[in-house]
Amino acid sequence: MEFRRVSEAVIRRMPKYYRQLTVLRDQGMERISSGRLAQMMRLNASQVRQDFNCFGGFGQQGYGYNVKYLYEEIGKILGLNERHNIIVMGAGNLGQALTNYVKFEKLGFVIIGLFDVNPALDGVTVRGIKIRMLDELESFCEENQVDIAALTMPKEKADAIANRLVGLGIRAIWNFAHVDLELIDKNVVVENVHLSDSLMQLSYNIVRNKKQKKTATEKVL
């Protein structure tokens, strides 16, 4: 497969393609056209073809795309054919919720460790995973391959913990702390997740729809 420099916009669409293709595969669909897939994705056919061409293209003119093959190839692009070990830093409500979400494992993301500083949580298990204290972090990382660290602690502690993790050789951080990390190694991959952002976007659309409805009503009157 040929890889080229790909924009963030295209990369962020790839998981959506993968989810849609999962549904189509489970339904037993064997092939699909770019137009039909675009309709399902609320895109246009040209956009779908351009996105896939970033990775060399997967279809045949006059045939479309083989669903199973496309599903597998996008999975490889997303790294879902490999196992990724995750540790969760912060065993509060969010950290425990992530640990309890079993679908991650079906995608190859396996939570192997859960850390906190609260002595009351020491030794408590979440879905079979023991909560460890922070002073065990170094020894745990020496004994286990850790690919990703999820930060679910308060933002005040996030920078220090993140750089501690980087020093232990962790190359990817899934950041739920409400802060932009200042890392000592700029080559570490960081994915920021601000849960409140989607709620604010939802709130904007609610307000917009109310205004549109009010305007339409006033025009009728």
Spatial strand order of the sheet with 125-126 comes to 125-126, 129-133, 109-116, 84-89, 148-151, 172-175, 189-192
Residues 93 and 122 placed together within one structural domain of the fold: yes
Residues 43 and 115 placed together within one structural domain of the fold: no
Residue 41: which of 67, 65, 64, 20 has the closest Cα? 20
* Overall domain count for the chain: 2
Last residue of a domain, one of 77, 95, 125: 77
Kindly indicate the confidence band of residue 188, based on its pLDDT and cuts at 50, 70 and 90.
Answer: very high
Q: Give residue 108's pLDDT.
A: 96
Residues 112 and 43 placed together within one structural domain of the fold: no
Residue-wise pLDDT for 31-78, tens only, equals 999 999 999 999 999 999 999 999 987 877 777 899 999 999 999 999
Residue-wise pLDDT for 138-172, tens only, equals 999 999 999 999 999 999 999 999 999 999 999 99
pTM of the entire predicted model: 0.86
